[in-house]
Structure 1
Amino acid sequence: MVSAVFHSPLDTSGAVPTTAPQPARASAPVAAAASAPAVASEPRMLKKRDFRAFWMRVLPPLAGFGLLVLVWELVAMKSTTGFPSPLATWQQALTVFSDPFYSKGPNDQGVGWNVLSSLQRVALGFGLAAAVGIPAGFAIGRFEFLSRMFNPLISLLRPVSPLAWLPIGLLVFKGANPAAIWTIFICSIWPMVINTAVGVQRVPSDYMNVAKVLNLSEWKIFTRILFPAVLPYMLTGVRLAVGTAWLVIVAAEMLTGGVGIGFWVWDEWNNLNVANIIIAIFVIGIVGLVLEFALIKLATAFTFEEVKS
């Protein structure tokens, strides 16, 4: 097979000399040496890109926090009412968080107990809202009669301020704690109802036509078609409802009293302890950020690619 392509070395008539391929062999190391720097430069370029991406992720948040601290320091320097500086607030925060779970009576407890009490109220109010709002959203989105029936009511009640519902709760439930839970319930139910209903209405009509052809029951339509398709919208409503509930509880606890992060803010204001108020603001923001991040991760895990885009 080799002789069919190359001339035999014994053939002297027009034979190609055996020394002809030698330069190609000699040039192979040169070519390899020439290509070696290009291969070696790829990790260096990747390192530079990774290093630049790292700083682009770290520097902007640090610059934002630095700007906040700078403005805060300028306000403290210009203030004539004893507004605490960032350093004084940090020192007070070390004192507050050195024992966050102390208890010296119902109106004197650590910040940890106040946060846990607020989270407990949020969990109860939000859980009741989810138990009512998600099924109601499925029903409103599934049946046109219910949609036409409840859409005007939702449009009327949804813009009402959360604190406007608090006196109704105090009148009906005769207690501050159930009134706060009621306020969370009525304010966090709307995002779940609306997003779930919109998700049901956006299910492709082909799916429902197939269900009619197969003569599926309502339970099978719900479990096999509606629930998987509506789940991303439903989780978005849940995320918005949790953010609303955490906002409402702080305002409700300021008015109802008891143990809670909102009551702690109001109590520290009565004591003219502005540093603790600023600490409470950061605590409220951090807890809300953690709740938001956890629900975003949960929603992303159950969201299809076309819904994410």
Structure 2
Amino acid sequence: MSAVVESIMGENAKPAGPAGSHPPAAVNSQAPASPPAAIPARRAKKRLASGGLFMRVAPPLLGLALLVLVWQIIALKTSSFPTPWVTLKEAGVMFADPFYRNSPNDQGIGWNVLASLQRVGTGFGLAALVGIPLGFAIGRVEFLARMFGPIISLLRPVSPLAWLPIGLLVFKSANPAAIWSIFICSIWPMIINTAVGVQRVPQDYMNVARVLNLSEWKVLTKILFPSVLPYMLTGVRLSIGTAWLVIVAAEMLTGGVGIGFWVWDEWNNLNVPHIIIAIVVIGVVGLVLEQLLVALAKAFTYEQVNN
């Protein structure tokens, strides 16, 4: 033990200089220190951040500027087409009071958007109540998949507006017919994506459930639903976009209060600036609905980690 200690002490001990020698000179503390390595790294990080901000902001602004430029050129070539400045002034007047109500056929754009959203919400909700459970059943039971497969393949390509006369014939009213069109166009993405998600559940999960003798309810709630949720939300996101597209066209044909009917009424009045404003509003509302469901899908989507 003492030998080991002595050997360690011998390695760590500094060799003594010859007798009478002076200790080494101290390092001059006033010598300029080299710049720390963190400063160039910080500067590079700032440059990357500024470049990333530029790439996020500049392209959309350039795209909007190009759109306004093309719009201005068209307005200069066509006297009946309003310029961006005229449309902007009309938008200021319109959005100063978007919820006025003078009569059933003379209401602000806010009421029309809310009426369309109400129809979309009703039809979309009914489609979710029917389509999601049906998608689980089709994906889980092969017999149902074979039975409903030809029906879905036949009816899915049909234009949603082709179902509008059927709704008018059955319901005898424009509002339920529009909701029916939303329902029939929204249900197919939910059924297909949910069924595909169920069929892509790893077989190992189902084998474990079979070994543990889990009930069908436990398999559904503990295994299938968490695994299928990302697929299901993708179907929901596709459905809401289609529903918002269809309601505008359906309201143009059925009339009443709604953003589609409002656009058609403004066309009859030859109020082109209001039509352009309505187009922008329809796009913004559709974008907001899309982004909300994208955020919801990201919140419930997970990535499988490979060991």
Larger displacement relative to structure 2 (207-216 or 279-288): 207-216
> Does residue 46 of structure 2 align to residue 42 of structure 1?
no
Q: String of CA shifts for 1:195-222, please: whole Å, max 9, x gaps.
A: 0000000001111111111111110110
The whole-number CA distance in structure 2 between the counterparts of 1:169 and 1:212 is 45
CA-CA distance at 1:79 after TM superposition: 0.9
CA-CA distance at 1:42 after TM superposition: 2.7
The whole-number CA distance in structure 2 between the counterparts of 1:53 and 1:7 is 54
> Does residue 13 of structure 2 align to residue 6 of structure 1?
yes
Secondary structure of 1:159's aligned partner? coil
Matches within 5 A, 1:11-160: 12=18, 17=21, 19-20=23-24, 22=25, 26=27, 30=31, 33-36=33-36, 38-80=37-79, 82-160=80-158
Secondary structure of 1:104's aligned partner? strand
The whole-number CA distance in structure 1 between the counterparts of 2:132 and 2:65 is 42
What is the aligned partner in structure 2 of residue 304 from structure 1? 302
The whole-number CA distance in structure 1 between the counterparts of 2:132 and 2:95 is 38
Secondary structure of 1:269's aligned partner? helix
TM-score (norm 1): 0.92
CA-CA distance at 1:52 after TM superposition: 1.2
The whole-number CA distance in structure 2 between the counterparts of 1:61 and 1:220 is 48
CA-CA distance at 1:44 after TM superposition: 2.2
Tell me: CA distance 1:306–1:6, structure 2 relative to 1, closer, same or farther (3 Å). Answer: closer
CA-CA distance at 1:92 after TM superposition: 0.6
Amino acid at match of 2:196: V
What is the aligned partner in structure 1 of residue 3 from structure 2? none
The count of residues paired between Structure 1 and Structure 2 equals 298
The whole-number CA distance in structure 2 between the counterparts of 1:246 and 1:305 is 30
TM-score (norm 2): 0.92
What is the aligned partner in structure 2 of residue 176 from structure 1? 174
Amino acid at match of 2:59: P
What is the aligned partner in structure 2 of residue 249 from structure 1? 247
CA-CA distance at 1:176 after TM superposition: 0.4
Secondary structure of 2:103's aligned partner? coil
CA-CA distance at 1:240 after TM superposition: 0.5
Identity %: 67
Q: String of CA shifts for 1:141-190, please: whole Å, max 9, x gaps.
A: 00000000001100100010011000000000010000000000000000
The whole-number CA distance in structure 2 between the counterparts of 1:153 and 1:84 is 47
Amino acid at match of 1:165: W
In structure 2, runs of 5+ residues without a counterpart are: 1-5
What is the aligned partner in structure 2 of residue 290 from structure 1? 288
